[in-house]
Structure 1
């Protein structure tokens, strides 16, 4: 059973480990995940410990299985991580719909996110759910201490026929 809730302050270590596992899977195709895992673990823990209030957790049968965050509580999804052990159950879709609804409730009409340009699984996931790539860039990532090629994706949360959010409240 799927349950979505706000993160709790005492979950920093648990959520950061979910993030690390999902990040390692995403980085495996690039062959760089193992070399940067300690830096990633520290970055995840520091983020979750300091910004837990911006995170939403998805549980599968009572177990935290993923989380997403909107670090600045705007239209940007700063983090989106599903534990690889829990993929294939619709958790990513349910979590994304919840985050999109939160964005729409704020009166924002677009959801945005970015990911590593080599993260084809994530790019495909978001594209199948209505996101389109709008930019490609290479920028220095201080958390990883290196340049990272990224793509930016966005999705309109408005329905064409009514001009309002496509979510039932």
Structure 2
């Protein structure tokens, strides 16, 4: 709640843009509402929502994929 996550995320987007990447992509559990709000406030949009198999957990999870065009910073 002190802006640290936002600062880190925006810095990473700047680094990726400086390296020539056009789009940043990330995903999270669909129930992670706080993270989704943070990502959306930083300019990410939801491009997909659905069930996806998690190799690390060995189960299907409800996931959200988000993207941000880095030129739109």
**TM, length-normalised to structure 1:** 0.41
| Residues in 2 aligned to 1:105 and 1:90: alpha-carbon distance in whole angstroms | 22
User: Could you list the per-position Cα deviations for residues 96-126 of structure 1 after superposition, in whole angstroms to 9, with x for gaps in the alignment?
Assistant: 0111011101101111100011111111111
Higher RCO (C-alpha 8 Å, min separation 6): 2
Unaligned runs of 5+ in 2: none
Query: How many residues are paired up?
Result: 73
User: Could you list the per-position Cα deviations for residues 43-86 of structure 1 after superposition, in whole angstroms to 9, with x for gaps in the alignment?
Assistant: xxxxxxxxxxxxxxxxxxxxxxxxxxxxxxxxxxxxxxxxxxxx
Q: Which has the higher strand share?
A: 2
| Residues in 2 aligned to 1:114 and 1:130: alpha-carbon distance in whole angstroms | 14
- The answer to whether the Cα contact below 8 Å between 2:25 and 2:66 also exists between their aligned partners in 1 is yes
Counterpart for residue 52 of structure 2: 139
Counterpart for residue 29 of structure 2: 116
| Residues in 1 aligned to 2:2 and 2:33: alpha-carbon distance in whole angstroms | 19
RMSD after superposition: 1.2
Counterpart for residue 71 of structure 2: 158
| Residues in 2 aligned to 1:130 and 1:97: alpha-carbon distance in whole angstroms | 9
Q: Pick the structure with greater CA Rg.
A: 1
- Equivalent runs, 1:74-85 vs 2, <5 Å: none
